[in-house]
């Protein structure tokens, strides 16, 4: 571990930039032809940093037509590709891009930008996803891609990039320290593990040498904060645009980010580069979209705001926990210890994998138990905490899918028998599958965060879950109390 203050001592202070400056700059750029960012979100937790934007869990042309009709600067598309194998992920990315372009029609009336939103701890299908997006855009529109901008930082959740190195901030007794993300549990992911926190080396590793480390353009804090002395955002914007002038043929571009001001400086620099004619794609963590469209940081929603416009049910709420990372297990422990009125129901993963008959019987019993318990209060449904892993990434993914399918079945059957007051889904793949299949959400509006900068509330606008607050809670964010804090806001028995 390293002290963050020591690492930052080598760099200038941040440039203070209001979100309104980014928004005004974009408004000027888009005065003649509006532009919408299409965010292909590989799990639904990318929405946790934004507010009042449309979300799709299906991506037919008519779905994009609905989303573009909301007249918002960005649209989130829940691809859930982190749960797919590479071939499936590639096919899904291509389908989304093709349908978005078809729905947009002529670029003379609506321009699209594409964002590949992924994990702030570097897990996911990289460089496959931006590669497919670039190839598809070129096939459909003839437009090439000069650079792919990598911005995994998520300061709200403690992930920052400094000097081209991606770190995780310490919490509690470790506050003020930085740990290279390659030294955390996330780097040992069974499917998407990696061996370095140096972003240029990460690009070389994941591209299997297609992009050499020395070919990566690194926008360090000296560039991002070039306007620090004069506190002039225009100086930073010019420095950023100048630094990527030589990008061609999908050159990887890595950005240092420590704060929201850094993200806004980057947004202005990227806008200047695109104004000069650069064609860019983005591979990013959650807060990039907020900064890129010039959106203010939405204050956390209150319980009353979560139910605004809808009458909450008298039923209990349903909290579904699928993630196995350490912070989730600690959050689950805190919630179960504090929420003594809640019924705890475990989905036994070993029974799910024991055969069809035993799995079906276990699911029937689980659903009956959940429905009965909801009549009296909140229910916490979690998968058994023993993580069954193999050395085969494909088999690990199959097990994860089996478990997720069971979680979905429990939620869907419960919804159609006795709808809960609210639903919280903890974990990326879990929250994606619960949204699209468990709650059958097709279109939703992300209303805002339930905690500062993290954990988003969706309002389903169609389907059987319409009017039920749905909370998308990433597995790897928050402190030990966060799950309890969110549940307390929504519950009528906690």
| pLDDT the model gives residue 480 | 94
Instruction: Extract the tokens encoding 474.
Output: 């990433």
DSSP letters spanning 154-176: BGGGTEEEETTEEEEE--GGGTT
Among 317, 325, 439, smallest CA distance to 381 is for 317
Domain ranges of the chain: 2-292, 304-490
Q: Which range among 86-100, 234-248, 420-434 shows the weakest confidence by mean pLDDT? A: 420-434
Secondary structure class of 230 (helix, strand, coil): coil
Q: What is the DSSP string of 49-69?
A: G--SEEEES---HHHHHHHHT
Tokens of 211: 């992009």
- Whole-angstrom distance, CA of residue 25 vs CA of residue 271: 8
Average pLDDT over residues 195-210: 98
pLDDT (tens digit per residue) in 61-100: 999 999 999 999 999 999 989 989 999 999 999 999 999 9
282-303 pLDDT, tens digit each: 999 999 999 999 999 999 999 9
* Percent of residues, the chain, with pLDDT higher than 70: 99
d(CA 428, CA 474): 5
What gap in Å lies between CA 339 and CA 441, rounded to an integer? Answer: 28
Least confident window among 51-55, 117-121, 348-352? 348-352
CA distance 43 to 62: 22
Name the DSSP letter for residue 257. B
Q: If you average pLDDT over residues 412-430, what whole number do you get?
A: 93
DSSP element (H, E) containing 403: helix 393-415
- pTM here is 0.91
> Helix, strand, coil: what percent of the chain each, to 5?
45, 20, 40
Nearest in space to 194 (alpha carbons), one of 218, 215, 166: 166
Looking only at the bridges linking them, the beta strands covering 251-255 and 280-284 are: unpaired
For 2-292, CATH gives: 3.40.50.10840
Distance CA 290, CA 280 (A): 17
The pLDDT score that the predictor gives to residue 93 is 98
Mean pLDDT of 277-283: 98
In 256-409, the DSSP E strands lie at 280-284, 318-321, 343-347, 379-383
Asked if residue 127 has pLDDT above 70, the reply is: yes
How sure is the predictor about 386, in pLDDT bands with cuts at 50, 70 and 90? low
Burial of residue 312, with CB atoms counted within 10 A of its CB: 0-12 exposed, 13-18 middle, 19 or more buried? middle
Fold (CATH) for 304-490:
Molybdenum Cofactor Biosythetic Enzyme; Chain A (3.40.980)
pLDDT at 324: 73
pLDDT of 257 strictly over 90: yes
Between these two residues, 395 and 135, which has the higher pLDDT value?
A: 135
Extract the tokens encoding 175: 């506050």
Mean pLDDT is lowest, of 15-24, 79-88, 236-245, for: 79-88
Q: What is the mean pLDDT of the chain?
A: 94
By mean pLDDT, which of 128-142, 318-332, 407-421 is the weakest? 318-332
Q: Is the N-terminal amide bond of 127 cis, ω within 30° of 0?
A: yes
- Please determine, for residue 4, whether its predicted confidence score (pLDDT) is greater than 90: yes
Residue 395 has pLDDT above 80, yes or no: no
Mean pLDDT to the nearest integer, 342-359? 91
Residue 284 has what pLDDT? 98
Query: Sorting pLDDT into bands at 50, 70 and 90, what band is 374?
Result: very high
The predicted pLDDT at position 354 comes to 87
């Amino acid at each position: 571990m390293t002290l963050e203050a020591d690492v930052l001592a080598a760099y200038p202070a941040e440039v203070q930039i209001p979100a309104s400056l980014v928004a005004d700059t974009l408004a000027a750029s888009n005065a003649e032809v509006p532009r919408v960012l299409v965010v292909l979100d590989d799990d639904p937790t990318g929405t946790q940093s934004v507010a009042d934007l449309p979300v799709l869990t299906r991506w037919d042309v008519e779905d994009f037509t609905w989303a573009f009709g909301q007249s918002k600067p960005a649209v989130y598309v829940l691809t859930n590709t982190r749960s797919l194998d590479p071939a499936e992920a590639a096919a899904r990315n291509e389908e989304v891009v093709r349908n978005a372009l078809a729905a947009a029609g002529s670029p003379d009336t609506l321009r699209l930008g594409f964002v590949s939103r992924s994990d702030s701890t570097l897990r996911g299908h990289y460089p496959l996803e931006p590669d497919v997006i670039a190839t598809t855009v070129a096939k459909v529109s003839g437009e090439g891609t000069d650079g792919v901008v990598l911005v995994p930082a998520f300061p709200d959740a403690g992930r920052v990039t400094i000097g081209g190195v991606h770190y995780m901030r310490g919490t509690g007794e470790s506050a003020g320290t930085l740990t290279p993300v390659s030294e955390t549990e996330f780097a040992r992911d069974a499917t998407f593990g990696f061996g370095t926190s140096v972003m240029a080396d990460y690009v070389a590793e994941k591209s299997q040498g297609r992009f050499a480390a020395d070919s990566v353009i690194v926008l360090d804090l000296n560039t991002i904060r070039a306007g620090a002395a004069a506190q002039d955002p225009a100086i930073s914007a010019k420095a950023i645009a100048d630094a990527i002038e030589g990008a061609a043929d999908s050159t990887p571009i890595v950005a240092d980010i420590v704060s929201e001001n850094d993200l806004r400086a980057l947004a202005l620099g990227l806008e200047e580069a695109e104004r000069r004619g650069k064609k860019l794609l983005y591979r990013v963590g959650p807060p990039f979209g907020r900064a890129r469209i010039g959106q203010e940081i939405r204050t956390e929603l209150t319980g009353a705001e979560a139910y605004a416009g809808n009458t909450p049910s008298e039923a209990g709420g349903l909290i579904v926990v699928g993630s196995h990372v350490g912070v989730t297990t600690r959050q689950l422990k805190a919630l179960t210890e504090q929420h003594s009125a809640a019924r705890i129901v475990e989905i036994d993963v070993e029974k799910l994998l024991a055969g069809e008959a035993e799995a079906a019987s276990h699911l029937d019993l689980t659903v009956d138990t959940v429905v009965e318990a909801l009549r009296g209060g909140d229910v916490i449904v979690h998968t058994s905490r023993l993580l069954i892993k193999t050395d085969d990434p494909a088999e690990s993914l199959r097990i994860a899918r089996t478990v997720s399918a069971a979680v979905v079945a429990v939620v869907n059957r419960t919804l159609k028998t006795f709808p809960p007051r609210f639903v919280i889904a903890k974990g990326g793949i879990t929250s994606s599958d619960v949204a699209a299949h468990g709650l059958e959400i097709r279109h939703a509006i992300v209303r805002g965060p339930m905690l500062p900068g993290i954990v988003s509330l969706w309002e389903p606008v169609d389907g059987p879950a319409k009017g039920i607050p749905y909370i998308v809670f990433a597995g790897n964010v928050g402190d030990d109390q966060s799950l309890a804090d969110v549940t307390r806001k929504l519950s009528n028995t906690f």
